[in-house]
Amino acid sequence: MSSRNALSRRTALLALTFGASLGLAGCFTPLYGPTATGIGVEETLKKIDVGEIVVSGAGEEMAHALRSELIFALDGARDREIEKRYRLTATVTASQSSPIVSTATGRALASTVTASARWRIEDIADERIVLDGQASASASFDRVQQRFATVRAQRDAELRAARQLSEQISTRIAIDLRSGRMAP
Give the confidence band of 32 by pLDDT, cuts at 50, 70, 90. low
Q: Quote the pTM value.
A: 0.76
> 127 near 104, Cβ under 8 Å?
no
Q: What is the mean pLDDT of residues 74-89?
A: 83
Average pLDDT of the chain, as a whole number: 82
In terms of DSSP bridges, do strands 48-56 and 128-142 run parallel, antiparallel, or are they unpaired? unpaired
Residue 41 has pLDDT above 70, yes or no: yes
Q: What is the mean pLDDT of residues 149-172?
A: 93
Segment 120-130, tens digit of pLDDT:
999 999 889 99
* CB neighbour class for 167 (10 Å; exposed up to 12, middle 13-18, buried from 19): middle
pLDDT at site 20:
58
Cα torsion 17, 22, 23, 27 to 10°: value is 120
Residue 31 has pLDDT above 60, yes or no: no
pLDDT at site 177:
84
Residue 27 has pLDDT above 60, yes or no: no
Nearest to 52 by CA among 106, 91, 103, 3: 91
Superfamily of domain 37-179: Lipoprotein like domain (3.30.160.150)
Segment 49-67, tens digit of pLDDT:
899 999 988 878 899 999 9
Domain locations in the chain as residue ranges: 1-30, 37-179
Q: What is the mean pLDDT of residues 16-38?
A: 57
